Amino acid sequence: MNTFKIVQFNMQFGQSWDDAYPDHAPVDLDLTIAEIRSHDADVVLLQEVERAQPGGVQADPPPNYTRLRAALGGYDGFFSYPKADPRELPFGIGLAIFSKTPLRDTTRLDLPSPPVEFEFHGERKTPTDRLLIGAKTALAGRELRIFNTHLLAFFMLKSSSEEHIGQRRLVIERLRASEGPTLLGGDFNVSKHDSLVRQFAAAGYRSVQTEEVTWRRRPYILDHIFYSRHLRPVRCAVSPTLASDHHVLVAELEFTD
């Protein structure tokens, strides 16, 4: 078999969706696990695995990732927090890669955030750094390089990643350095995704889909799976779920040579 399936999912630390009270919906990690299992993917990319704790404390071992790894039997896993920072706000943090085939050569790269000031609960704040993680695996007898990222939501700070290009530039540098079949999934937090898609296309990477909304809170396409010229999408779908404020992006790809 020359094809494989990948799932891209911002799981919002297991917080489910409630149309009436989205910010107060219960955390239901069992629902998250059931959603992930239902797709039976070869590779799963997750963002916001854990909920940030007061003062930037990072629980070790990470509780949600530990439960996920135990529940996803048959998968190898890799997880990383972003750089610890006492300014961290109480939202989702941490990235994970799960694969049915062994992961190796795992990497992490901090993505610095610019000192853009914003207000949160009446206080002036600046954003914490973001993260890119990576690993290699073998699928269908071929080596595959996998990256996973979660960029800063500049649109929520009344700014734009087109004005602050540092994080996107660092990610593209890693993509350009990867010579073989390569995938990048993640929550790119870009409200006007056309510029993002053009920028990554110029680096040799295309998105599996650019039409269907992936976020419930606003009609934005925040989630993408980018693939190199060595791969071709066979099919893809945005799968609605109540397990997060993001939908699941599912793609089946094949090697082209």
Please check the confidence at residue 76 and state whether its pLDDT lies above 70: yes
How many Å apart are CA 155 and CA 32, to the nearest integer?
A: 27
How many Å apart are CA 131 and CA 206, to the nearest integer?
A: 21
pLDDT, tens digit, 9 for 90 and up, residues 81-108: 999 999 999 999 999 999 999 999 999 9
Over residues 153-181, mean pLDDT: 94
pTM for this prediction: 0.97
Domain containing residue 119: 3-255
Please check the confidence at residue 195 and state whether its pLDDT lies above 70: yes
In sequence order, the β-bridge partners of residue 92 are 51
53: Cα within 13 Å, side-chain hemisphere: 9
The CATH number assigned to the domain holding 176 equals 3.60.10.10
How many CB atoms within 10 Å of residue 156?
A: 12
How many Å apart are CA 63 and CA 50, to the nearest integer?
A: 7
- Size of the chain in residues: 257
How many Å apart are CA 141 and CA 139, to the nearest integer?
A: 5
Tokens (6 digits) for 255: 């090697």
Going by pLDDT thresholds of 50, 70 and 90, the confidence category of residue 224 is: very high
Which pLDDT value is given to residue 196? Answer: 96
pLDDT, tens digit, 9 for 90 and up, residues 12-59: 999 999 999 999 999 999 999 999 999 999 999 999 999 999 999 999
How many Å apart are CA 127 and CA 135, to the nearest integer?
A: 27
User: Over pLDDT 90: what percentage of the chain?
Assistant: 95
Over residues 181-185, mean pLDDT: 98
User: Strand order of the sheet with strand 206-207?
Assistant: 104-111, 130-139, 142-150, 182-187, 223-227, 206-207
Which pLDDT value is given to residue 114? Answer: 95
Instruction: List Cα–Cα distances, 226 to 75, 96, 197, 207, 211, in angstroms.
Output: 22, 17, 9, 4, 14
Domain count, the chain: 1
Over residues 138-143, mean pLDDT: 93
Please check the confidence at residue 1 and state whether its pLDDT lies above 80: no
Average pLDDT, the chain: 96
